[in-house]
Structure 1
Amino acid sequence: MPRFLRHDRAATDPILVIAAIAVSLVLLVGGSFAVASVLNNARDLNAKADLDRVATAESTATAESTGTAAWKGTAGASASTWTDSAGTRTNYATDPRALRQNANGQFVWMNSRWFGSTVPTGTYSNITGALDGPPNTDITTYIRKQWTAAAGTNQTGNTGFSLSGGGTNGVAVTPGQTWSFAASLRASTTHSRGQMKVQYYDAAGNSITDADGILLDRGDVTALPAGAWVRESISVTVPAGVAFLALYADVDGNEGWPVGSTLDGTALVAERAPVAGSIFDGWTPPTTPGARPYDSSAGSSLISRTLSTANGTDAATGLQRSSTGFTPADGVRTVVTTTSDSTGWAAVAQSATGRLFIRSSASAAVGELGGATGSRSLPAGVQLPTGMTVADLNQALTNARGL
């Protein structure tokens, strides 16, 4: 009997193991489906939540006060103002968008800065009609330095831009005044030290010195990743004995400048304020209350209400720049098209699962778009705002690509 029991156990053990494995596989497969379902549901919820964020941002955009810009004198060669419900700001930069005026006694982009300490040489030029200006601006011009002879790693100091003259050709200031400056720089190669600098002069135009030599105020040091616009800024209180100041947007460090490398600059702000605000000049388009177009995949491209990039007027990141803006959830693409009068909007969020959800200014209802690309159909309960048709929506989604 004992032998029989041992034999029986030996015979049935493999069957039990196989059965256990089979059950485990069933549970594992079933569990995988359950986990995938939960994950996909979470992804879809992220997309729907982005539609709520759009509604909040659009509501804020619609309520924002109208703002207007104006030149104080000659367009592109004088100070300018921006006026909205918060008051009036003045940008004392007479060449904000880098038209390179080289004027004395003014804050302007100049072509007098060197390319390196010894052999390096280069050229200055102006880029116009560009769509790759600083993100979140409507600026399409910038000044460019390009190296025609390489600057080695020991020849790179102060190779940025002069933003005024020096000595008595600098900008006249009064001790005790608070000034804030900002400008955007973009280098084609990576550099570790970008910053704004202010140099001071007395009434005779002599450089003022301190215990360490020339008296300089320096802004925070920032890295310039290759190909990326970086905003440099500085705020200063003019010291006693100062009659003039010179302003620079400099690049230091030891990375060198290869032949053909470039440094671009634009978006100059000079304000009598504790900090430099956002860029504006007399060319800045007025803001009016109303809905804004948006495409989260378009970066800093300029887009129109139909999400076309041709002759666009609004930055794709417009909703992110509003006071209650947002960044789309991971894996979610969000687009917003507006009516021609900017009174209404429709937003589509593409989930990481590929599903397209829609909401509009006409109601808080959310549903899933049906149909194929180019011929999407509205779900029950979701309406488009007055002035927008399904054909308009489909054209916008086609322009946005991939939807």
Structure 2
Amino acid sequence: MGKEILDVLGVTLWMIVGIIGIFALYLAVSGLCYLVQRAYYRGRDRAKGYTSLKTVTFGDESAVTGNRMASVAAVITLFLFWGIATGSKLLPPILPQPFVGESAFEYTAVNAAGESATGTVLVQVNAADSDDKSKPDPASVVGASFAKTDVVVVAERRAKLVKVQSNDDGGDQDGYTVTAINGKPIAPEETVSFDDGDVFMTAKGSLSVRPATGMTMEALYLPPPEKVWERFIQLNKEGYLGVGLWENVFWSLIRVVVGFALGCLFGIPLGFAMGLNSWLRGWFEPIVEFMRPVPPLALIPLIIIWFGIGEQGKISLLFLAALWIMTIAARSGVSGVNIAKVHAAYSLGATKKQILTKVILPNSLPEIFTGARVAMGVCWGTVVAAELVAAEKGAGKMIIAASKFSLTDIVIIGIIIIGVIGYLIDVLMRIAERRLVPWKGKA
């Protein structure tokens, strides 16, 4: 167990180093873009709006708004990182690319009689998406010794085993062995590099050829942007598994909206009740606080048992994902109302109904909108899990089905679409918040 803990700590340490490195690089680009922006606007009068008249803005949440230029630069930077890491053809080569083409190396073999000879292995490396089946012509390499010319065809980033002893004269006799690659000594379980890759000798004396893999990511793990775009165009025309792309997105959106609406319909009144009545708060608080940390994924088995695999089960899971967030947001909104406003309303003769509708509800709206934005994000994150439950349509179903066949480009398309729609919904919520709660951050 101690070794397992050390392994976990070691992996965690490397993750921290990697995250810090990526974050530092991203921040460095951010700092460079910021300097460019300052140089561009230097000497220009940009003071606009009420915030520009404030003498102190640090700590004032209402004075901090997102810089549009920074947002655009951040998105462009992410796409540049994506293109560089995947060796995109849209950019000039920056990182070393995997080797593709023809190469060769020589091996030195000793036969049973103790004679030494040099043979050649011709290596044809094809691109991952290539259908080329051609092989190098071994007749182009002339040799009269017992070591014959071998040919190996391998896909980029892959390894291929070459049994030179099967092709050489006397290679099946005891005492035959390969001793060197391009003049460099080699032994079982050792690796020797040649111009365009590595050669590894197995324990049985065979040679495993691996072409140079470069430093870019393989399309299996992260395809370049142009490949994702090509797949997006294809999905628009043909769909996936008999269902159109936007039909899948529509069904996911409907499920999220209905589940979120139900969570608001029941969660907000429950939160108000808990914030206004001590008995109801004590009655419901154990349930709310118990269910709040339970991830929606853990509820899938119960949802299937209780509601089956139809739409009711999927919407129920999304409803539960939103319910507790909205309940807590509404309760926090009620608890955060300035008591001086309540006393002032009572002193002016307001009834309890007027206190609720004119004081508590308006002052709770900022917290409720914040909770709604969080709940919507959680619902979009849960819809993929919800559509695991025997869904025939939906973006989550498309993602899960594509992942089973290692179609990473379709998975990325689904993730991007979900993220964009989630962002647009969040923008609409912020617009509604500015319209309905114009006093937020100003009192």
TM interval, shorter chain, is under 0.3
Comparing both structures, which one devotes a greater share of its residues to helix? Answer: 2
TM-score scaled to structure 2, two decimals?
Answer: 0.24
Larger radius of gyration: 2
TM-score scaled to structure 1, two decimals?
Answer: 0.26
Using CA pairs below 8 Å that are at least 6 residues apart, which structure has the higher relative contact order? Answer: 1
